[in-house]
């Protein structure tokens, strides 16, 4: 155990109350993330509030506000180990109004664990047009999470309990919409579990004798097993690009007494080291890195995939915000964009989209309103061939190349140079209306930019 385990970031997605937090809490508890004493404390507190079945979820819902509402709001990062990987769990919220948080969480993940409830009515609500099971899976795909695992949860509450018929019905339904989104369903493992009782999570279940285990076909060959833990071990570790310049989208910026300003985020490409001079865009500020921390341990070198907090010199918390991107000031620093050209697919928009339409774009951790400045060409969404030039309007199901202009400074990159910073989802009317990838960017360049950085130090 001398070698450090590979890091994998897992995002847990699914409809509200499908049991995401409970399932995740159970996993962490079983795989050494939390001690028994803490769990007993949570159990007492949960029982006093009459929510005893929430004890594992309480591991995740550490925030007080969430405890009272029983809903996960902020993205809590917790880690646990499987045999092969050191996993950081990003428990993404499932409520409608938190889709924005869910997007920030998902843009940092390598693997998505989609939790679907098998309970009558709950599964149907999640997969319905307005449900979030679909929407989350779709966002995960767009934001580049190409590996997805499906947990059919609450098997202990089906009628009759642990019903094979119900499990197969759910699997069939989920398979259909995952295929529509673009996932290769042969490579998606389906696992029946009970997150509350811990059935089939770590050890094979005795309650479901009909379950023959999961099996997936990948390019590298087939993989199979029974439990959720085995699935997590079977995932392909993501390829990290170290040799590209640094790009680190900020997820939050904290002010810590005695330390100073600490931005937090996941390194997408490149390497971060103490002593480096960073350029923050679109803030157009530079600052030196004093120290780096991950999971409360100091680091000399932080690599892609690491979720880190780093302390910077002489910079006030007020100057930075979520969605800013840090890069090496000496090596292709990030810059904000005037406009960018993107290939988009309109998903579920009730009306017609014309020039001037301005939804909120979620790209990496930024949420900025962007205007459709030009509809350049309409494409066939399967082949990518051009159908018509300068279409007047776009409707659900159309694919197109469009020019987008952010209404306030925003830092994005083209998908080909920095994939994580080149994918986005567009939200409007409380739902995802389009997804897309950025083909080219027109950056804001010039003497003014560097001058500004000097004066603002």
Of the pLDDT bands very low, low, confident and very high (cuts 50, 70, 90), residue 145 is confident
pLDDT at 142: 66
CB atoms within 10 A of CB 241: 17
- Output 212 or 445, whichever has higher pLDDT: 212
pLDDT reading at 257 higher than 60: yes
Q: What is the pLDDT of residue 36?
A: 63
What local confidence, expressed as pLDDT, does residue 381 receive? 64
Question: Is the pLDDT confidence value at 454 over 70?
Answer: no
Residues 157, 119: Cα–Cα separation, whole Å: 6
pLDDT at 363: 87
Q: Is residue 229 over pLDDT 60?
A: yes
Considering just the CA atoms, what is the radius of gyration of the chain in Å?
22
pLDDT at 288: 94
Per-residue model confidence (pLDDT) at position 55: 62
DSSP-assigned letter for residue 198: T
Residues near 427 by Cβ (< 8 Å), separated by ≥ 6? 99, 100, 359, 360, 361, 362, 433
Q: Residue 338 to residues 233, 282, 367, 410: CA-CA distances in angstroms?
A: 43, 11, 16, 8
Confidence of residue 12 (pLDDT cuts 50, 70, 90): confident
21-35, 194-208, 258-272, 334-348: least confidently modelled range: 21-35
pLDDT computed for residue 73 by the predictor: 40
Q: Where does the pLDDT of residue 450 fall: very low under 50, low under 70, confident under 90, or very high at 90 and above? A: very low
| Tens-digit pLDDT profile for residues 274-317 | 999 999 999 889 999 999 988 778 889 988 888 889 999 888 88
Contacts of 318 (CB under 8 A, 6+ apart): none
Higher local confidence (pLDDT), 318 or 218:
318
pLDDT in tens, 119-138: 888 888 877 766 677 777 87
Q: What is the pLDDT of residue 240?
A: 65
User: Which runs of E-coded beta strand occur in 154-284?
Assistant: 190-192, 214-218, 221-225, 248-256, 260-266, 277-281
Q: What is residue 275's predicted lDDT score, i.e. its pLDDT?
A: 94
Position 354 scores a pLDDT of 92
Measured distance CA(281)–CA(249) in Å, rounded: 9
Band of the pLDDT at 1, cuts 50, 70, 90? very low
Burial label for 428, CB within 10 Å (0-12, 13-18, 19+), is middle
Evaluate the omega torsion of the peptide bond into residue 275 and state whether it is cis, within 30 degrees of 0: no
Q: Could you tell me the pLDDT band of residue 389, with boundaries at 50, 70 and 90? A: very high
Predicted local distance difference test score (pLDDT) of residue 33 = 56
Q: Please state, rounded to an integer, the average pLDDT across all residues of the chain.
A: 80
Query: What's the rounded Cα separation, in Å, for the pair 116 and 127?
Result: 9
What DSSP element (H or E) covers 168? helix 164-181
Q: Say if residues 200 and 192 touch (Cβ distance below 8 Å).
A: yes
Cα 91 to Cα 417: distance, rounded to the nearest angstrom? 29
Residue 24, pLDDT above cutoff 80: no
Residue 380 has pLDDT above 90, yes or no: no
pLDDT tops 70 at residue 351: yes
Bigger pLDDT: 76 or 369?
369
Residue 214 pairs with which residues in a beta bridge?
225
Residue 65: band (very low, low, confident or very high) from pLDDT cuts 50, 70, 90:
very low
Residue 441 has pLDDT above 90, yes or no: yes
Determine how many CB atoms are found less than 10 A away from the CB of residue 41: 13
Average pLDDT over residues 190-217: 87
Does position 393 have pLDDT exceeding 60, yes or no? yes
Question: pLDDT (tens digit, 9 = 90+) per residue, 352-367?
Answer: 999 999 999 988 888 9
What's the confidence (pLDDT) of residue 449? 39
Q: How confident is the model at residue 54 (pLDDT cuts 50, 70, 90)?
A: low
Torsions phi, psi of 429, nearest 5? 55, 35
* Residue bearing the bigger pLDDT, 245 or 21: 245
């Amino acid at each position: 155990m001398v070698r450090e385990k590979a890091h994998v970031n897992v995002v847990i997605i699914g409809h509200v109350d499908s049991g995401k937090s409970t399932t995740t809490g159970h996993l962490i508890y079983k795989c050494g993330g939390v001690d028994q004493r803490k769990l007993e404390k949570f159990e007492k507190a949960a029982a006093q509030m009459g929510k005893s079945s929430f004890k594992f979820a309480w591991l995740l819902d550490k925030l007080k506000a969430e405890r009272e509402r029983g809903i996960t709001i902020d993205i809590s990062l917790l880690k646990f180990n499987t045999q092969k990987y050191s996993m950081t769990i990003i428990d993404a919220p499932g409520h409608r109004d938190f889709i924005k948080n869910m997007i920030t969480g998902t843009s940092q993940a390598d693997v998505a664990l989609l939790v679907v409830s098998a309970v009558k009515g709950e599964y149907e609500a999640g997969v319905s047009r307005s449900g979030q099971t679909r929407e989350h899976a779709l966002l995960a795909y767009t934001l580049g999470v190409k590996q997805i695992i499906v947990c059919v949860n609450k098997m202990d509450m089906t009628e009759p309990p642990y019903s094979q018929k119900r499990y197969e019905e759910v699997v069939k339904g989920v398979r259909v919409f995952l295929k529509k989104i673009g996932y290769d369903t042969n490579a998606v493992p389906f696992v029946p579990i009970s997150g509350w009782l811990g059935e089939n999570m770590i050890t094979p279940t005795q309650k479901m004798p009909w379950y023959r285990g999961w099996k997936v076909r990948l390019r590298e060959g087939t993989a199979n097993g029974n439990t959720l833990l085995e699935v997590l071990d079977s995932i392909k570790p993501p390829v990290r690009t170290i040799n590209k310049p640094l790009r680190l989208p900020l997820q939050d910026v904290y002010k810590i007494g005695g330390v100073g300003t600490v931005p937090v985020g996941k390194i997408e490409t490149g390497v971060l080291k103490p002593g480096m001079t960073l350029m923050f865009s679109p803030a157009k500020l530079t600052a030196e890195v004093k120290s780096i921390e991950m999971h409360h341990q100091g680091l000399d070198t932080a690599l892609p995939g690491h979720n880190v907090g780093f302390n910077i010199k002489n910079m006030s918390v007020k100057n930075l915000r979520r969605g800013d991107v840090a890069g090496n000031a000496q090596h292709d620093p990030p810059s904000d964009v005037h406009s960018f050209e993107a290939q988009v697919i309109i998903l579920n928009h009730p009306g017609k989209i014309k020039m001037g339409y301005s939804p909120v774009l979620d790209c990496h951790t930024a949420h900025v309103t962007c205007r459709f400045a030009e509809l350049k060409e309409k494409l066939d969404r399967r082949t990518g061939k051009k159908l018509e030039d300068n279409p007047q309007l776009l409707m659900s199901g159309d694919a197109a190349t469009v020019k987008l202009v952010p209404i306030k400074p925003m830092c994005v990159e083209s998908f080909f140079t920095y994939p994580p910073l080149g994918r986005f989802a567009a939200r409007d009317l409380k739902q995802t209306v389009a997804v897309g990838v950025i083909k080219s960017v027109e950056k804001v360049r010039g003497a003014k930019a560097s001058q500004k950085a000097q004066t603002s130090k």
